[in-house]
Amino acid sequence: MTRTATYQAGRTVAGAIEAHFARHLARARARDESDLAPAPEAAAIQTMIDATFWASLRPEEGRFPKISLAFLPPEQAGRALMFEQPLALDPAVLTKLAPAVERPGIHLGVWYGGDGSLASESSSGQLRVWGATRVVPSFGFVLEDVEPGLLVIKHRRVNGFGKYANVAVLMGEQVKVIDEQGTSLPDCPALLKALLAFNSGADLNDRRNEVNVLVQLAASMRAHAHGGSLLVVPTGKESWRDSIVQPVLYSVVPGFAALAELVSRDENEREENAWESSVRKAVDTVAGLTAVDGATVMNDHYEVLAFGAKIRRPTGSVPVEQMVLTEPIIGNKAVVVPPVQHGGTRHLSAAQFVHDQRDALALVASQDGRFTVFAWSPCENMVHAHRVDTLLM
């Protein structure tokens, strides 16, 4: 018996999500990419969202479930755990299975099996949970239950390096579709260079891409849940010290260069799995420093210069009174707000730092999961705050 989907937000967003995956998969095929995931149809997307949403609201033994579903046939899942008989894609089933698959990187595999055969590829069949896997093909549709009533739709990047790219966030009846093209940002080349990769979730397979390393740092900073600030300053310039209380208690000499060395390593010198593992560890090490009270300072070659630094306003500088605030969501409109309306002392200090050090970036994580990137906008002649937590869930 097929369940009737009752979660309205899933019905609202399914068509746009289908178009997103069809577009990306068509481009990947045009580039002759291999190991591509199947394209999910709107009906399948809606069914998976509906079952996961209602499961997220069902506590089991006093705990709400955390579930991740991947849409793929078992033959694309590598050495997966497979059930002898596929299970119904039903909230009660998902709730019961959740404790077994709640650790990061494990997904329940979902595919058509209306005739009882896992090999069925007909969309006329009913969706079934066939097992669990850690393997997801490129651009594979993944649906994650983050907390009760909060779902994130994402896809695996080509070759799987780095954080999955978020496509949409559903919070109760609120739907946020990620603005890949950066239409929520002003037409300002210098600002777009700093912020667009946070918008689009640009391909992390270009491991030399500066902003993509920052995306990984941002995700790790948010994950440690202590809150923190990371200031990214130009290599070879010392003017940033004018905005820091001296002496710096945790000054690092020479700069900690573990991440810098890995990112700059020639591609021919990398052993793929070991290199990726080392990058993740180095990213987590740097992100961990941001949990210390004060800001971590890193140059744009990824060398850590200090942590626990206290931001101050240089002599002669004026306080920041306004900034532009955006979010990478389709339909978002930029607004001008006082910095104190967006966050506490950490956000205000970061806005002041970027106001005074206009060739720097500031990444700020709140303990509640909010994450903001601050950059100077020469077109608007003020600080631009881009809230990106929808990209980091």
- Cis peptide bond upstream of 65, omega within 30: no
Strands laid side by side in the 127-133 sheet = 81-88, 127-133, 107-112, 68-71, 141-147, 150-155, 165-171, 174-177
Q: Higher confidence at residue 1 or residue 113?
A: 113
CA 368 to CA 344: how far, in whole Å? 12
CA 231 to CA 214: how far, in whole Å? 11
Quick one: how far is CA 77 from the chain centroid? 23
CA 184 to CA 330: how far, in whole Å? 7
Nearest Cα neighbor of 392 from 139, 169, 140 is 169
CA 92 to CA 88: how far, in whole Å? 9
Bridge-based pairing state of the strands 68-71 and 141-147:
antiparallel
- Cis peptide bond upstream of 338, omega within 30: no
Helices 210-224/189-200 angle, 10° precision: 50
Residue 161 pLDDT:
65
* Residue with the two structure tokens 């299970």: 87
Identity of the residue numbered 13: V
The secondary structure of residue 138, as a DSSP letter, is B
Confirm if 311 and 244 have CB atoms less than 8 A apart: yes
Quick one: how far is CA 6 from the chain centroid? 28
Length of the chain: 393
User: Boundaries of CATH 3.40.1700.10 in the chain?
Assistant: 189-392
Positive or negative: CA dihedral 29, 31, 35, 37: negative
Question: Could you read off the pLDDT of 205-231 as tens digits, one per residue?
Answer: 443 344 478 989 999 999 999 999 999
Coil, strand or helix: which one is 128?
strand
Quick one: how far is CA 251 from the chain centroid? 30
Per-residue pLDDT band for 159 (boundaries 50, 70, 90) equals low
Question: Could you read off the pLDDT of 252-279 as tens digits, one per residue?
Answer: 999 999 999 998 887 777 776 788 889 9
Residue 120 pLDDT:
47
Quick one: how far is CA 31 from the chain centroid? 24
- The torsion angles phi and psi of 355, rounded to 5 degrees, stand at -60, -40
Confirm if 108 and 98 have CB atoms less than 8 A apart: no
Confirm if 376 and 353 have CB atoms less than 8 A apart: no
- Mean residue pLDDT of the chain comes to 89
Q: Match domain 189-392 to its CATH number in 3.40.1700.10, 3.10.20.740, 3.40.50.300, 1.10.3080.10.
A: 3.40.1700.10
Strands in the chain per DSSP E:
68-71, 81-88, 107-112, 127-133, 141-147, 150-155, 165-171, 174-177, 228-233, 250-256, 295-299, 304-309, 323-326, 335-337, 361-365, 371-377, 382-387
- The torsion angles phi and psi of 139, rounded to 5 degrees, stand at 60, 30
Indicate whether this model's pTM tops 0.95.
Answer: no
Coil, strand or helix: which one is 350?
helix
Question: Could you read off the pLDDT of 275-329 as tens digits, one per residue?
Answer: 888 999 999 999 999 999 999 999 999 999 999 999 999 999 999 999 999 999 9
Per-residue pLDDT band for 54 (boundaries 50, 70, 90) equals very high
Question: Could you read off the pLDDT of 178-192 as tens digits, one per residue?
Answer: 998 788 788 888 888
CA 310 to CA 60: how far, in whole Å? 45
The two structure tokens encoding residue 72? 């793929």
Is the pLDDT at 43 greater than 50? The verdict is yes
The two structure tokens encoding residue 256? 């900690």
| Beta-bridge partner residues of 112 | 127
